[in-house]
Amino acid sequence: MKVLVAYATAKGSTRGIAERLGSCIEGFGQEVDVRAAADVSHVHSYDVIVLGSAIHDGQWLADASDAVERLRSQFEGKRVWAFSVSSVGVTSTTLSKRLARLLRRMTPEPRAVQLLRDAADVRDHRFFAGAIAPGDWPGFGRVVFRLMGGHYGDARDWSDVCAWAGTIAAESTRDTERRT
């Protein structure tokens, strides 16, 4: 089975998650390509597509949103998974734990993920927390970040990333075995 992990990143945190996903999926015996979403022109040769992006202002970056639009006609019959990287993930956060619990319940999916769901069989959409440095939030944003209980550093939960990769590999393998 051949898997594409495509991503859009602003500061590199999402690329790191995409690379780890690829590495973990390879560890389960799958063939994996990890590529920037902007560099993907077709997905015909892939059985599984994992598409992710950093979130800015509640939405995926333009490179990922453009990839959804550009490739949407090619997603039919593919197993698709999506991930978003922001300050709050399912298991970790750069914000206060209290605020993160609230945001996990209230944060809607980005528009690009909703469009992806309309075009493809999206098996899951996962939120991961990324890494944030003092210069990542400009000017007043730094003040707001601190007021939200924000702390700088790397909040990526690598065990959660690999566990999700295991879910992707296991479900994809089961689907393939059912088809044969």
Which pLDDT tens digit goes with each residue over 109-142? 999 999 999 999 999 999 999 999 888 877 888 8
* 8 and 113 Cβ atoms separated by less than 8 Å: no
Euclidean distance between CA atoms 138 and 13, whole angstroms = 17
Could you tell me if residue 156 is left (phi over 0), alpha (psi between -120 and 50 degrees) or otherwise beta? beta
Residue with tokens 């690379």: 19
pLDDT of residue 179: 61
* Model pLDDT, residue 144: 86
Q: Quick one: average pLDDT of 14-33?
A: 97
- In this prediction the pTM is 0.93
- Of 49, 63, 47, 48, nearest in space to 10 by CA: 63
Instruction: With CA atoms as reference, report the closest residue to 156 among 125, 134, 127, 128.
Output: 128
Distance between CA 126 and CA 144 in Å, rounded? Answer: 25
Q: Which fold has domain 2-177?
A: Rossmann fold (3.40.50)
